[in-house]
């Protein structure tokens, strides 16, 4: 099985998540804590359907990570495909991470009240709200960054780039270090926020590079 064979499974799961998200009853996924206009709100949780989707995405993700990449062809000159792949990955990353980490506030609220609920919302504060929010946020951020960084370290496409038939590879053929992969992912969010600059800053169509690749020594290659 090649990496490109995962295209349809990921598309089917993505479509299923979007469909279920619209059909299912609204529920808090993850955790929300805010104080505005003198009102406090603390909400969190997950949903069984979201947990099931998360597990399916997680299994497909790690299966892709251990699957040999398809043979690389030519550098990918365009950037629109890469921009679209980011948003596919973004939805999959959120739906893989958020439902699982949403279990943390559920368990904490269960221990506090003795009543288990898949999702909850309250307008009164309780001891520990701050650290639960901080821990859940930091774990979510780390997991979402790792979603993009791990394929760079493994030399495999991310699910989104797999769907669109390319992958990011080191231009110097040296393995990606953890620091380099995570830093490229962080700066990559800046690149997504300014896609209109990509065609004009350090663009090299023949090598499949734009400024982000120039900085971190990577390029995009099409997959067979």
Calculate mean pLDDT across residues 81-103. Answer: 93
Q: Which span out of 147-151, 168-172, 176-180 was modeled with the highest average pLDDT?
A: 147-151
How do residues 36-55 score in pLDDT, each as one tens digit?
777 888 889 998 989 999 99
Nearest partner of 52 among 7, 93, 90, 17, judged by Cα:
17
Nearest partner of 6 among 55, 60, 58, 53, judged by Cα:
60
What's the structural domain count of the chain? 1
pLDDT at 32 over 80: yes
| Domain coverage including residue 58 | 3-223
Q: How much is the pLDDT for 101?
A: 93
Grade residue 27 by pLDDT with cuts at 50, 70 and 90.
low
Q: Which of 82-96, 129-143, 206-220 has the lowest mean pLDDT?
A: 206-220
The rounded distance, in Å, linking the Cα atoms of 134 and 50 is 22
Q: Are 82 and 166 in contact (CB under 8 A)?
A: yes
Per-chain mean pLDDT for the chain: 87
Percent of the chain topping pLDDT 70: 93
pLDDT at 199 over 70: no
Whether this model's pTM surpasses 0.85: yes
């Amino acid at each position: 099985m090649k990496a490109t064979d995962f295209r349809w499974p990921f598309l089917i799961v993505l479509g299923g998540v979007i469909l279920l998200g619209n059909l299912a009853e609204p529920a808090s996924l993850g955790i929300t804590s805010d104080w505005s206009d003198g009102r406090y709100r603390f909400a969190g949780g997950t949903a069984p359907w979201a947990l099931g989707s998360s597990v399916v995405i997680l299994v497909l993700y790690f299966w892709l990570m251990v699957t040999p990449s398809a043979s690389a062809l030519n550098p990918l000159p365009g950037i629109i495909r890469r921009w679209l792949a980011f948003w596919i990955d973004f939805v999959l990353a959120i739906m893989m991470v958020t439902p699982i980490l949403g279990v943390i506030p559920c368990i904490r609220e269960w221990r506090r009240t003795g009543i288990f609920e898949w999702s909850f919302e309250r307008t009164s504060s309780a001891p520990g709200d701050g650290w639960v929010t901080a821990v859940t946020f930091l774990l979510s951020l780390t997991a979402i960054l790792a979603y993009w960084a791990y394929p760079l370290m493994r030399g495999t496409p991310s699910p989104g780039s797999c769907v669109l038939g390319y992958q990011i590879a080191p231009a110097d053929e040296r393995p990606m270090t953890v620091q380099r992969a995570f830093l490229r992912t962080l700066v990559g969010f800046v690149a997504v926020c300014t896609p209109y600059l990509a065609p004009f800053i350090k663009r090299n169509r023949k090598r499949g590079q734009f400024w982000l690749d120039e900085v971190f020594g990577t390029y995009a290659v099409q997959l067979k």
